[in-house]
């Protein structure tokens, strides 16, 4: 037996062991555990503001931690920082490359970042001395598109890329501190834990991985351990995984929904899960009961991004129709 064949067999064996270990811990489903809880009442959010100004599809948005400002990225080649309450544009930043796929607001509010088909993550200083917003750093090393980026602080940012890796950067020196390798497909998104110790990456290899930022290691992998012959890739559903049980707890799906999910955001308490879909709507799910409790209809094209502000007061949706909407 060749070495590759041997390694493949070993991998399959280990995957089967993990599947069995997970099953052994499965003494209930979330649906059973939440049986005594009533479904949350119908959620009817209204569009409170429409942020108009982009001239092309919006691909990403991110709230500032102040719950007032937010940044959006559009393929019109601009990053716009909005005051979501007044709808004023605080900054309109022209980008070198218009093929932007992601944007992020630093927790401090001092910096924003973006990137896309230029394979770079560009950092902009919003609080420069002369009031002009300039590129502060261009983080270049990825050999594939930049799909997502999230700041840990003003000095560190994590990026995910079509080159199948995620990277922790030192913004000051513009260098890679850690490369998180292991995904076997394009990394498409990432989310950082509230304590900034971990992040989760989602990739086109159909898995999500939990990474320890300081150790540089992958702790857990979700979604990819099933035997390939039994995987059904249905793109119109969302799943909730628990890190401690190391498995899926519940799936959010409805037979009437037949299109892909583009973006997700939980409400402040986690009771609601807001998901943007290709059919131009946002569906609101009761997280515990896996029932649809509301719909946000108002965009004229795909909802590409969604975010709930840190104080939970509002949800922002961005769309290919070039508008952002604030709902509550």
**Least distance (Å) from another protein to the CB of residue 310?**
12
Among 92, 245, 259, 297, binds another protein (CB under 8 A): 245
Sheet holding 303-308, edge to edge: 47-51, 324-327, 315-319, 303-308
x-marked contacts with another protein along 67-106 as a string, rule CB under 8 A: -x---------------xx---------------------
Whose Cβ is closer to another protein: residue 22's or residue 89's? 22
**Least distance (Å) from another protein to the CB of residue 76?**
25
Q: Which of 124, 104, 41 is nearest to 294 (CA)?
A: 41
Q: Name the region of 280 (left: φ>0; alpha: ψ -120 to 50; beta: rest).
A: left
Check residue 295 for interaction with another protein (CB under 8 A): no
Check residue 228 for interaction with another protein (CB under 8 A): no
Check residue 65 for interaction with another protein (CB under 8 A): no
Whose Cβ is closer to another protein: residue 94's or residue 270's? 270
Among 72, 75, 147, 220, binds another protein (CB under 8 A): 220
| CA angle in degrees (0–180, nearest 5) for 43-250-228 | 135
x-marked contacts with another protein along 107-146 as a string, rule CB under 8 A: ------------------------------------x---
Residue pair 11/225 in contact by the 8 Å Cβ criterion: no
Q: Which of 192, 206, 190, 138 is nearest to 169 (CA)?
A: 138
Whose Cβ is closer to another protein: residue 68's or residue 78's? 68
**Tokens matching residue 15:** 């995957």
Whose Cβ is closer to another protein: residue 26's or residue 88's? 26
Among 43, 90, 117, 204, binds another protein (CB under 8 A): 43
Whose Cβ is closer to another protein: residue 59's or residue 63's? 63
Check residue 181 for interaction with another protein (CB under 8 A): yes
Residue pair 298/315 in contact by the 8 Å Cβ criterion: no
**Beta pairing partners, 285:** 273, 292
Q: Which stretch binds another protein (CB under 8 A): 5-13, 108-116, 150-158, 297-305?
A: 5-13
Check residue 313 for interaction with another protein (CB under 8 A): yes
Burial-class residue 21 by CB neighbours within 10 Å (0-12, 13-18, 19+). exposed
Q: Which stretch binds another protein (CB under 8 A): 18-26, 114-122, 150-158, 251-259?
A: 18-26
Tally the C-alpha atoms within 13 A of residue 34's C-alpha that lie toward its C-beta. Answer: 15
Check residue 179 for interaction with another protein (CB under 8 A): yes
Whose Cβ is closer to another protein: residue 22's or residue 57's? 22
**Least distance (Å) from another protein to the CB of residue 177?**
6
Binding site for another protein (CB under 8 A): 3-4, 7-8, 10-11, 14-15, 17-18, 21-22, 25-30, 33-34, 37, 40, 43, 45, 48-49, 68, 84-85, 143, 163-165, 176-179, 181-182, 184, 216-221, 242, 244-247, 249, 267-272, 274, 287-288, 308, 311-315, 326, 328
């Amino acid at each position: 037996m060749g070495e590759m064949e041997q390694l493949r067999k070993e991998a399959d064996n280990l995957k089967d062991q993990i599947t069995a270990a997970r099953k052994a811990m499965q003494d209930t489903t979330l649906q059973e555990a939440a049986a005594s809880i009533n479904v949350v009442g119908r959620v009817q959010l209204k569009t409170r503001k429409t942020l108009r100004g982009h001239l092309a599809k919006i691909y990403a948005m991110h709230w500032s931690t102040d719950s007032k400002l937010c940044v959006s990225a559009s393929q019109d080649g601009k990053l716009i920082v909005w005051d979501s309450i007044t709808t004023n544009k605080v900054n309109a930043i022209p980008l070198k490359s218009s093929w932007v796929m992601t944007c992020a607001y630093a927790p401090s509010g001092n910096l924003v970042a973006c990137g896309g088909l230029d394979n770079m993550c560009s950092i902009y200083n919003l609080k420069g001395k002369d009031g002009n917003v300039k590129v502060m750093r261009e983080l270049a090393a990825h050999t594939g598109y930049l799909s997502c980026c999230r700041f840990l602080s003003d000095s560190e940012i994590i990026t995910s890329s079509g080159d199948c890796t995620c990277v922790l950067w030192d913004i000051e020196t513009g260098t890679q501190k850690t490369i998180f390798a292991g995904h076997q497909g394009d990394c498409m998104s990432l989310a950082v834990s509230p304590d900034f110790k971990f992040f989760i990456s989602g990739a086109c290899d159909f898995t999500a991985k939990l990474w320890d930022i300081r150790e540089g290691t992958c702790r857990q992998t979700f979604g990819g351990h099933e035997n390939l012959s039994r995987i059904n890739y249905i793109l119109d559903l969302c799943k909730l995984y628990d890190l401690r049980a190391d498995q899926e707890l519940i799936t959010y799906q409805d037979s009437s929904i037949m299109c892909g999910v583009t973006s997700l955001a939980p409400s402040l308490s986690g009771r609601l899960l807001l998901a943007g879909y290709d059919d131009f709507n946002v569906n609101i799910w009761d997280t515990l009961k896996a029932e649809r409790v509301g719909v946000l209809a108002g965009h004229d094209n795909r909802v590409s991004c969604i975010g709930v502000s840190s104080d939970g007061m509002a949800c922002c949706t961005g769309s290919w129709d070039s508008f952002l909407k604030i709902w509550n």
